[in-house]
Amino acid sequence: SGTSMDKPGPPVFNYGVTLPILLHGDAAFSGQGIVAETLNFSRIPGYRTGGTIHVIANNQLGYTTNPGESRSTLYASDMAKGFEIPIVHVNADDPEACIEAARLAMAYRTKFRKDFLIDLVGYRRYGHNEGDEPTFTQPLMYQAIEQHSTVREIWANTLVQRAVVQAGEPEQMVSRRMEHLQHELEALKAEEAMVEPIPEPPPPGAARRVKTAVPAERLRRLNQALLQVPENFALHRKLERAMQKRQKALENMDEATVDWAMAEEFAFATILEDGIPIRLTGQDVERGTFSHRHATFHDVKNGNRFTALQSIPQAKAAFEVRNSPLSEEAAVGFEYGYNVQEPGRLVIWEAQYGDFINGAQNIIDEFLASARSKWGQTPSLVLLLPHGYEGAGPDHSTGRLERFLALAEETNMRIANCTTSAQYFHLLRRQAGLLRIDPLPLIVMTPKSLLRHQRVHSTLRDLSEGNFLPIIDDAWTAGRPDAVRRIILCSGKIYVDLISSELREQNAAIAIVRVEQLYPFRFELLQPIFDQYTRCEEVIWVQEEPENMGAWPYLQPRLKEFLNGRALLHYVGRRGNASPAEGSAAWHTIKQNEIIRQAFNLESHREINERARKYKLVEK
């Protein structure tokens, strides 16, 4: 709110449009890490609000925990000192002092456009809630509270002493108000009045009807516009060579020259040309963790910056790209709030590595996954999570696909793991086309080593004439379906490993079918694929992740029900493990190669299982 993005170029933020007020608990302010992460946003471009007024509702307790047990500082507010935020401690029993503190906060915020904190020091009269018994743990404190007049009583006595009201008048006012509230409560029909708002369901088949193909000539014009840089702008020589190569990349309609980053940039450019603003944030997103995006160029002589997507003449809306602090929980929380506030914008957050989404699990569980059923909200936030097993160890391998699938229910999100740049292009354009009619969060397991892999590259024709395919059949076996005895189902990087193997052409009896959209799973699209392979005897799900992770725990019962005994269902992949990946690159390579060998092995299952035990894999 307050950010204008209806014109091309960078966004324009008006600090005077909103007044952010953030309420904290005293124990939470010092104890919860997301508070420090959020305070760190206060002066960062793309996140600063022009001054947030923070209010600590200071009860001098954290449930049953005393201040000395919950923080190392004298005051609950002391952490704000590190961010040079002015702090006022005020007695909650003194309404006039509280009003003056609020006026001071507003005046400071108006003049300096910076945060201000009010530490409202009070107490909890009834403990943590009305059913709590606080004297179990703070007997002396609550003896004092029991003898202490309430804020209302103190203020009423003050008004009587000042002759503002007559003696007894405050009690009469309270009595009248309580009678009115009691009357309203008794007249209330809870089963009718307390019904939670439910968002209107989207029109059936909305996602399937979105047109994502873009004419070739339009893409060629955008490509030329994206390659323009300001006069005398000194590009890095490596980037200069890459841009020269792109000049002729789209000459041949059927040559696979469109890599992942190019497809993404084309998707963004066409979305901007359609008049939809884009906000892209995350850890190192301007360059991209793997040096693939380069959304912002840096002049090697003077350090000046240039963002092509903010300068193309075809754009009808603003483009914003921001490197975020090294934060997940606060950053994803910020983008969720931004997205809910501005549903007509394509809001994207990218993790440095998919594994780091762990740090935002609270936001995923509390808001993103349960937005519709719990909050009546319809977010469309996109999460890009670099995912794939490449020997980088257990902290740089997985976007935790299994956790999102475990949360997937009631069509509350879309989850994809694309195998080509064109699929990613169409997926982003589909998401933009659904912002108003069928908004859902989009979780994308994005590649790392495959960003520049030739097998992932697409043609101009794929972008100009294709569309997003939730499930893709094996083109290699399409002309001879009767020869197929085994169907391999897989998703993402493991597909490229399978088709790149020398074993691929030695096994004409095996079809490899890609699942590009894991949720909602489109079984109605899988049905005709299975129907054509009339002699298929078994279906194997192949994945890189351990058996208790990845897509298998979610898909196994659903695939079993789908097959209904028509073919055997097996799993090939790593055994279940508490750690998502090996810590040794050499051991990773051994296991990865063995997964591929087992996937193509048509021997008896007993022989396969013996070898699986040797390599700590599993085939069931």
Angstrom distance (rounded) from CA 15 to CA 49: 7
Choose one of 148, 177, 205: the last residue of a domain: 148
568 assigned to some structural domain = yes
- How many domains, the chain? 3
Which residue numbers in the chain have pLDDT < 50? 604, 606
- Of 440, 465, 490, which one is at a domain's C-terminal end? 465
Same domain, yes or no: 68 and 140: yes
Domain that holds residue 502: 471-619
Q: For residue 591, is it within any domain?
A: yes
Phi-psi sector, 611: left (phi>0), alpha (psi -120 to 50), beta: alpha
Residues 451, 358 within the same domain: yes
β-pairing, 12-13 vs 3-4, is antiparallel
Identify whether residues 442 and 575 lie together within a single domain: no
In a domain? residue 455: yes
Structure tokens at 196: 């939670």
Domain-located, residue 169: no
93 within domain boundaries:
yes
pLDDT at 414: 98
Burial 94-123 (b: 16+ CB within 10 A, else e): eeeebeebbeebeebbeeeebbbbbbbbbb
Name 274's Cβ contacts closer than 8 Å, sequence gap at least 6. 316, 432
Is residue 136 domain-shared with residue 48, that is, in the same domain? yes
The answer to whether residues 522 and 428 belong to one domain is no
Question: What pLDDT, on the 0 to 100 scale, is given for residue 307?
Answer: 97
Residue 175 forms part of a structural domain? no
d(CA 477, CA 474) in angstroms, rounded, equals 6
Task: Report DSSP state, residue 364.
Answer: I
CATH at 96? 3.40.50.970
Domain C-terminal end among 120, 148, 176: 148
- Determine if the pTM surpasses 0.85: yes
234 plus 289 within the same structural domain:
yes
Q: pLDDT value at position 573?
A: 96
Cβ–Cβ under 8 Å, residues 35 and 77: no
pLDDT at 617: 60
90 lies in a domain?
A: yes
CATH of the domain at 394: 3.40.50.12470
Q: Are residues 570 and 619 in contact, defined by beta-carbon separation less than 8 angstroms?
A: yes
Task: Give the CATH number of the domain where residue 607 resides.
Answer: 3.40.50.11610
Nearest to 424 by CA among 330, 374, 350, 314: 350
- Please give the helix or strand (H or E) that residue 67 lies within, else none: helix 67-70
Say yes or no: 588 and 499 in one domain: yes
Question: Comparing C-alpha atoms, which of 593, 611, 354, 396 is closest to residue 497?
Answer: 593
* Residue 260 · residue 451 · CB < 8 Å: yes
- 394 and 510 together in one domain: no
Q: Assess whether 109 and 242 both reside in one domain.
A: no
Same domain, 263 and 310: yes
Residues 526 and 461 in one domain: no
Q: Any idea which residue has 């901007």 for tokens?
A: 272
Residue 209 inside a domain? The answer is no
Give the single-character DSSP code of 620: -
25 contacts 62 by C-beta, under 8 angstroms: yes
424 and 484 both lie in a single domain: no
